[in-house]
Amino acid sequence: MSINRRNFLKMMGWSGAGAALAGCDMPTTVTLEEGREEVVSYLAPEEYVIPGVGVWYASTCTQCAAGCGIHGRVREGRVLKLEGNPDSPINKGKLCMMGQAGVQGHYNPDRITQPMLRKGGDLHAVGWDEALTLLNEKLGGVKDDRFAWFTGSLSGHQRVMVDNHLEAMGSRHHFVHEVVNNAVSRRVYAEMFADETPRLRIDKAKMVLSLGADFMGVSESPLLYSGDYTRFRTGETRGLLVQVEPKMSLTGGSADLWLPINPGTEGVLALGIANLLLNKLKMSDAGIPGEVRRLIDSYDVNRVARHTGVAGDRIQRVAALLQERAPSLVLVGPAVEGHVHGHASVAAAMMLNHILGNVGKTVEAGRRLPFAQLQAKSGNTADLLAFADLAARDQLDAVIFYGSNPAFTAPASLGLGEALGHIDFKVAIAQFPDETAMAADLVLPVNSYLEDWGTQVAAYQGDMAALQLQQPLMEQLHPQTRGFGDIVLALLKQRRSDEYGRFEDYYGYLRNAFANMPAAIKGGASDEAFWNAALQVGVVDVPAETASLHSQVVNFADPVTEGSGSQALTLIPSPRMGLWDGRHANLPWLQEAPDQISKVVWDAWAEMHPETAAALGIGQGDLIRISSDQGSIEVRVTLLKGVNRGSIAVPLGQGHSDYGRYAKGLGANPLKILSPLVEAETGEMAMYATRVDAKRVAGPDQFGLVKMGGSDTQAGRRLVVTVPVEQLKRSRGA
């Protein structure tokens, strides 16, 4: 086998800066025998298997891209319960509801259990041999950039394999799509702090001003931030949380002060606060460019109050608190990024961290693995737009989809359904019959993450850089499913048999990669001991790389967005902890879990402020039609004071036309009616800028929306007497 050292390291994922850690000898390849297992019947169990007593194994959650560590309780060969892995630097023993529901995806009755090939218009079951022969045949005829991978966020050795396969195919096209993403913020962080993923230390702040950041619910790392938040609240000085957003989120529900704001005006609010800090509270502008300073000076508090709908005295109070409670931290969420001037809005908000001197105190350099090949490729929406465009222009002949469902998440305006028809050969590596799999020509059934091998690297690391191991917690439930790594390895063997032919399976590849990990990481342990420790703990602590952080305000545009269109309301397609972007709509536990704010279960609905609804003749439980310039959806209404008066919020996740018995045909998908608006600087989809009308179609029906929260009023019974703070102050003369 003649592979040079450089290529070998690249194949194993250790090339790049990390090789400097190496000092490792030339590779020692794990023998294939080591990867063999002896299957023993439970009638003659291993010594440690005690009937009725569970054994816990470490692995990694892939229910979102945060990369939390898990422990799975396995009894009599079945995984029964998942918990957080205390050794994970991300979730430190905690597990969110989506993580808990992982077992329902694993045991889900709607899993795809064998390969399927489209013949005569319909998908028919075929064997793996036929499927792979056809796949290799089809890919063999595709030229360079006419082939693409389309995935969700991808990291670790799965990313290495996909990258190497793309290289072997001669293609540059890897589209990485996530509806829930922070791509615009990442750009701003890189421009202002020289670090795309700075560590945002909520736990070190005395005050957090969150502009729509649902950091404990839907964010890049909900459990890491939740841990930070606990310390923020329980530290010597109890931290103060001010949340400003157009629709109350899970995090907003915990705030000390919650302020509704007109959608898309968060950047204007940030400029108004900067104006007060510099001009009234006399803070230093710390080298802000003249153009930005003029922009700040043009936003006095009255102008800002008019634009944002936030009262002037509130804005002044927030500015004063930020100055008093140093160090503070200003965060942004998707609603800030997701309008036409999202980049400018995020930049205005991050400028507050600069003025307040937070950079270096609560904005720290993020930790990163020193192996560029393994780092997370985080998803965005610009890739979806680029993919739809290429497909519509007949520029793609074959695409492999994995971990993403663009047929569900793409707005109707993209015409993706038709564009997919231009691609000759569409392959879906899928666990469930989602909309994209059902549109594919070949469907390859993949193991659940509880049955699969892999490594995961979180894009947003905690206080160390961790390579997390994913190991099967039990034997495959269905004999015809395969591991993702095994499927890609089979493709690579076709193209690069000299490099990959030696590996019987992906397990063997991973063993080899671990055996050849730089010696500095293995700390003198033998290959076997190192591998066993990784299996046991689930986490490999890797010496971290950090960027050298700087704090520098760059020029940005005026973030003000003038309303477009004659429609009265702004649509907020709100993702939630639970169904997320719709990927968990097939899990009954998550359908059954009440929405954290509205308490509705098993449905899609619209949230409207009671006064807005009343003005439109709409009441609680009414069926309404929400219409944009791209179409309409029908949902029932729940009235909620936690929504800005000019907005209407519809949760993401429902409205599937496929995706199994629990998801199909339930509710409506607000993504479908988004206007084709794009963020001006980054080309990301402006998802929070669509204007809509709402019209009553029918009154409440016999069933209505099912709410787990009971009544949210006291129906005039004064069970708990409350007095608004303002009234209390007036009555006491304070």
**Count of C-beta atoms within a 10 Å radius of residue 476:** 15
How far apart are CB 84 and ligand SF4 at their closest, in Å?
7
**DSSP codes, 583-607:** TTTT-HHHHHSPPTTT-B-SS-EEE
Q: In b/e form, how buried is each residue of 421-450, taking b as 16+ CB within 10 angstroms?
A: eebebbbbbbbbbbbbbbbbbbbbbbbbbb
Q: How many residues does the chain have?
A: 734
State which residue, 98 or 315, has the beta carbon closest to ligand SF4: 98
Q: Is 585 in the site for ligand SF4 (CB under 6 A)?
A: no
Task: Give the C-alpha separation, 470 to 475, whole Å.
Answer: 14
Give the DSSP H or E segment for 290: helix 290-297
Under rule CB under 6 A, residue 208 binds ligand SF4: no
Among 91, 471, 551, 638, binds ligand SF4 (CB under 6 A): 91
For residue 63, state whether it binds ligand SF4 (rule: CB under 6 A): yes
Assigned token pair, 302: 């009255």
Amino acid at site 646: G
Provide the total of helices (H) and of strands (E) in the chain, helices listed first.
Answer: 26, 27
**Least separation, in Å, of the C-beta of 68 and ligand SF4?**
3
Angstrom distance (rounded) from CA 213 to CA 199:
15
β strands within 21-68, DSSP E: 55-60
**Of 405 and 644, which has the nearer Cβ to ligand SF4?**
405
* Cα separation, 664 vs 434, whole angstroms: 9
Shortest Cβ distance from residue 578 to ligand SF4 (Å)? 10
User: At closest approach, how far in Å is the CB of 399 from ligand SF4?
Assistant: 27
The radius of gyration of the chain's CA atoms, rounded to the nearest angstrom, is: 26
Cα gap 198→164, rounded to integer Å: 28
- Asked if 95 interacts with ligand SF4 (CB under 6 A), we say yes
- CA–CA distance, 478 with 724 (Å, rounded to integer): 59
Angle of helix 527-537 relative to helix 506-515, nearest 10 degrees, comes to 110
Enumerate the β-bridge partners of residue 69. Answer: 60
Which tokens in the block code for residue 543? 């010496």
Nearest to 255 by CA among 216, 307, 305: 216
Nearest-angstrom CA–CA distance, 231 and 531:
34
Q: Find residue 57's DSSP bridge partners.
A: 72
Minimum distance from residue 61 beta carbon to ligand SF4 (Å): 3
The count of chain residues that interact with ligand SF4, using the rule CB under 6 A, is 13
| Interaction of residue 61 with ligand SF4, rule CB under 6 A | yes
Give one word for 406, left, alpha or beta, with left for phi > 0 and alpha for psi -120 to 50: alpha
Residue nearer to ligand SF4 on the CB measure, 74 or 96: 96
Q: Which DSSP state fits 553?
A: P
Nearer to ligand SF4, 98 or 162 (CB): 98
User: Considering the complex, what minimum distance in angstroms separates the CB of residue 436 from ligand SF4?
Assistant: 21
Is the CB of 216 or the CB of 650 nearer to ligand SF4? 216
Quote the least distance from Cβ 222 to ligand SF4, whole Å: 5
88 binds ligand SF4 (CB under 6 A): no
Rule CB under 6 A: say whether 99 interacts with ligand SF4.
yes
Q: Which helix (H) or strand (E) holds 470?
A: strand 465-470
User: Which residue, judged by CB position, is nearest to ligand SF4 in the bound state?
Assistant: 99
CB of 329 to ligand SF4, least distance (A): 21
Please tell me whether residue 69 binds ligand SF4 under the rule CB under 6 A.
no
Give the interface segment with ligand SF4, choosing from 56-64, 390-398, 494-502, 638-646 (CB under 6 A).
56-64
459 belongs to the binding site for ligand SF4 (CB under 6 A): no
84/246 with CB nearer ligand SF4: 84
Tell which positions 476-505 bind ligand SF4, by CB under 6 A: none
**Angle formed by the axes of helices 484-495 and 128-140, nearest 10°:** 50
Report if residue 448 touches ligand SF4, rule: CB under 6 A: no
The binding track of 167-206 with respect to ligand SF4, each residue x by CB under 6 A or -, is ----------------------------------------
Selected binder of ligand SF4 within 12, 24, 30, 66 (CB under 6 A): 66
**Residues 598, 707 contacting (CB under 8 angstroms):** yes
| Distance separating alpha carbons of residues 430 and 447, to the nearest angstrom | 9
* Least CB distance to ligand SF4 at residue 242 (A): 24
98 binding ligand SF4? (CB under 6 A):
yes
Is the Cβ–Cβ distance between 282 and 319 less than 8 Å? no
Window of 51-59, 90-98, 447-455, 669-677 that interacts with ligand SF4 by CB under 6 A: 90-98
Span near ligand SF4 by CB under 6 A; candidates 94-102, 107-115, 269-277, 525-533: 94-102
Pick between residue 116 and residue 579 the one whose CB is nearest to ligand SF4: 579
Site of tokens 């600069």 = 354
* Closest CB to ligand SF4 among residues 63, 591: 63
Residues 6+ apart with CB under 8 A from 142: 169, 397, 398, 425
Nearer to ligand SF4, 197 or 512 (CB): 197
Q: How far apart are CB 223 and ligand SF4 at their closest, in Å?
A: 5
Distance of closest approach, residue 709 Cβ to ligand SF4, in angstroms: 23
- Using CB under 6 A, which of the segments 33-41, 89-97, 328-336, 385-393 binds ligand SF4? 89-97
Contact 59, 538 (CB under 8 A): yes
The total of other beta-carbon atoms located within 10 Å of residue 551's CB is 19
Which one of residues 222, 267, 309, 366 is an interface residue with ligand SF4 (CB under 6 A)? 222
- Given 9, 79, 96, 692, the residue binding ligand SF4 (CB under 6 A): 96
How many angstroms separate the CA atoms of 385 and 177, rounded? 10
> Is the Cβ of residue 466 or residue 677 nearer to ligand SF4 in the bound state?
466
Q: Is 333 in the site for ligand SF4 (CB under 6 A)?
A: no
Q: Which of 166, 176, 209, 223 binds ligand SF4 (CB under 6 A)?
A: 223
64 near ligand SF4 (CB under 6 A) = yes
Residue with Cβ nearer ligand SF4 (223 or 391): 223
Instruction: Summarize as ranges the residues that interact with ligand SF4 (CB under 6 A).
Output: 61, 63-64, 66-68, 91, 95-96, 98-99, 222-223
